[in-house]
Amino acid sequence: MGRLSGKVAIITGAAQGMGAEHARRFIAEGASVLITDIDEERGTALAQELGGRAAFTALNVASEAGWAAAVALAEARFGPVTALINNAGIIGAATKCADLSEDEFNKVCAINQTSVFLGTKHVIPSMQRAGGGSIVNISSISGIVAIYGTPNVAYAASKFAVRGITKQVAIEYGKDGIRANSVHPGYIKTKMMTDALDDEGIKIASASVPIGRVGEVEDVSNLVVFLASDESGFITGSEYIIDGGLTAL
Ligand SMILES: NC(=O)c1ccc[n+]([C@@H]2O[C@H](COP(=O)([O-])OP(=O)(O)OC[C@H]3O[C@@H](n4cnc5c(N)ncnc54)[C@H](O)[C@@H]3O)[C@@H](O)[C@H]2O)c1
């Protein structure tokens, strides 16, 4: 028996990076997983790699119609949804506030923040049918503190908002057996990080982390599996920082 045996999960932004690792771990722990992403090629390939308990559907997390279709597909294929991992996100332009366009601000908020509202809204009836579920919202340490030297007010706004949505949903649906928690990674080695930092930048980032390294996707999956599993059954409305001690400084 895996730690997620019988769970039905939707994971967003799961074609690569942390989301792909979550999908791999969820399958290994016995869950059925609907992998979703805008990257159809990588998403389809991952679902094929993971076998019969995995499926892929294209989902732009900022689309409400897309969410309704994805939840219906997950239910039809695997049964009512019992885990939602709101992982998809973009970093947006590293631009100081006075130079940031409204369009860029709204784009980042739509993908990082409105998506979490939409996914939660559409999954809750399915979780109620299942008798409960776990929502894990991937925020950032940018949802806990401001990051000096990295101008990005849209990312900060959206990631702080994810923390707020999480707490409110947790108290609204606790009696339905639906839990919601947020995860706040620091530097994690994915394409998002390597797009933002060159090798020298990663070295500097590693040196700034008390544990002495940047995080790996597996570090975050360990936490996400725990939060999706019944092992965390009394945990809701909480925020989990996973940053090697960076924000403890
Ligand atoms: N990597 C880090 O250091 C780090 C740190 C803190 C938080 N995070 C957060 O973790 C999450 C995952 O990040 P990652 O590093 O794995 O990123 P990544 O860029 O490697 O992967 C993100 C995935 O999201 C998908 N995506 C982008 N826009 C989408 C949309 N509109 N709809 C659906 N899918 C979309 C991409 O196609 C990609 O597959 C993000 O929410 C990110 O903000 C990352």
Task: Give mean pLDDT, residues 3-27.
Answer: 98
- The SS3 assignment for 178 reads strand
Residue holding tokens 């949802």? Answer: 143
Domain ranges of the chain: 8-189+216-242
- List residues bridging with 56 in a β-sheet: 35
- The SS3 assignment for 25 reads helix
Could you tell me the distance, in angstroms and rounded to a whole number, from the CA of residue 6 to the centre of ligand 1?
26
Give the DSSP H or E segment for 34: strand 32-37
Whole-structure pTM value: 0.98
Measured from the Cα of 14, ligand 1's closest atom is: 39
Could you tell me the distance, in angstroms and rounded to a whole number, from the CA of residue 77 to the centre of ligand 1?
25
CB 5 within 8 A of CB 30: yes
Architecture of domain 8-189+216-242: 3-Layer(aba) Sandwich (3.40)
Find the residues whose C-beta lies inside 6 A of ligand 1.
Answer: 12-13, 15-19, 37-39, 59-62, 87-90, 111, 138, 140, 185, 187-188, 190-193
Per residue in 139-176, pLDDT (tens digit) is 999 999 999 988 899 999 999 999 999 999 999 999 99
